[in-house]
Amino acid sequence: MAPAQSSVFPSHFVRNKYGDLILHDPTTRVPVAFTAMQARAFSRFDDLLRRESGSTTSMQYYPGGYESFVELWDADPACTYGFAKFNPRDGTCVLSSRPAIREDVLAPLPASKVIRTGIDLPQVGMQTVIRSLAESQTRSYQARDRVESKWTGRAGKKPRYYHSTTPIGHHVPVTQSFCFSSTPEPRVVSTSPTTPTTPIPSTANPTPSSTNTASRQADKGNSTRIDEDNLIAYDFDKDLEGANEEDETMIEGRAA
């Protein structure tokens, strides 16, 4: 009978898509699953027992399920690698004559996934993109500055524009601000009886001017009078005479 060919793993060993180790019981054919992290812990514990020659004085913890895993693993005598047997109930240890399997061979860790973000561009392409972004940002800043300066200039012109505006019906520019009060000023009404005032004759020489009839009344002093009913009467003839005298005086002044 030809000897059985040795293999790295037992014949009843399989690995599923999640990386779990599955060992079938040779008697019942029931599959027993062990996670990859459990299998790596079993490999480290076996290495500890081998280095300590079966002593458990430096053992920090016992990995659960180690006894069942070793029993299923050693069920195939043709397997190249073996594990030390350990009884957690009495602390006895029996080392295996077969070599130990490395941790990364028994349960290799899945390859890390590299998530790429963005677009991979050559060095020249990256420089072009960076230059384009910088130019776009510069143009945006310049446009913002133009808008701000435009509004700043308008803000200085508005007070001058409204200050030079004149009220409707006036032809002289207004140089003072208008203040309209919502409360009208009280009107003063005199309660004393009205007494006629006799204009004081003026001794000053008449000057050529465009004064109205009131100035001529003040110069002549006799164009108005008080009648018998205490009313002010106006003498048109005397006023006309005073106007003629004033006109003659103006003509003589121009001739001189």
pLDDT of residue 81: 92
Residue 55 lies in a domain: yes
Give domain status of residue 249, yes or no: yes
Residue 136 lies in a domain: no
Domain hosting residue 98, numbered range: 13-106
Angle at 94 between CA 93 and CA 96, to 5 degrees: 135
* Angstrom distance (rounded) from CA 97 to CA 191: 140
Mean pLDDT of the chain: 72
Distance between CA 234 and CA 227 in Å, rounded?
A: 10
1-25: pLDDT as tens digits? 334 455 788 888 899 888 899 999 8
Q: Which two tokens stand for residue 118?
A: 């963005």
Residue whose token pair is 């003072």: 176
Query: Where a domain ends, among 106, 131, 160?
Result: 106
**Is 162 inside any structural domain?**
no
Extract the tokens encoding 55: 């002593």
What pLDDT, on the 0 to 100 scale, is given for residue 71? Answer: 92
Is residue 129 in a domain? no
CB atoms closer than 10 angstroms to residue 183? 5
Task: Among 59, 89, 106, give the residue marking a domain's end.
Answer: 106
| Token pair belonging to 143 | 């446009």
Last residue of a domain, one of 106, 122, 145: 106
User: What was the pLDDT predicted at 19?
Assistant: 86
Say if 7 falls within a structural domain: no
Q: Please list the rounded mean pLDDT of every run of 10 residues in the chain (256 residues).
A: 60 88 89 93 92 85 91 89 89 88 87 65 74 88 84 57 51 50 54 55 50 49 59 56 62 60
**pLDDT tens digits for range 113-142:** 666 666 666 666 777 888 888 888 888 888
Domain annotation covers residue 50: yes
What is the residue type of 112?
S
Domain-embedded: residue 204:
no
Query: How much is the pTM?
Result: 0.42
Per-residue model confidence (pLDDT) at position 122: 67
Domain count, the chain: 2
* DSSP designation for 208: -
| Distance, CA of 74 to CA of 84 (rounded, Å) | 10
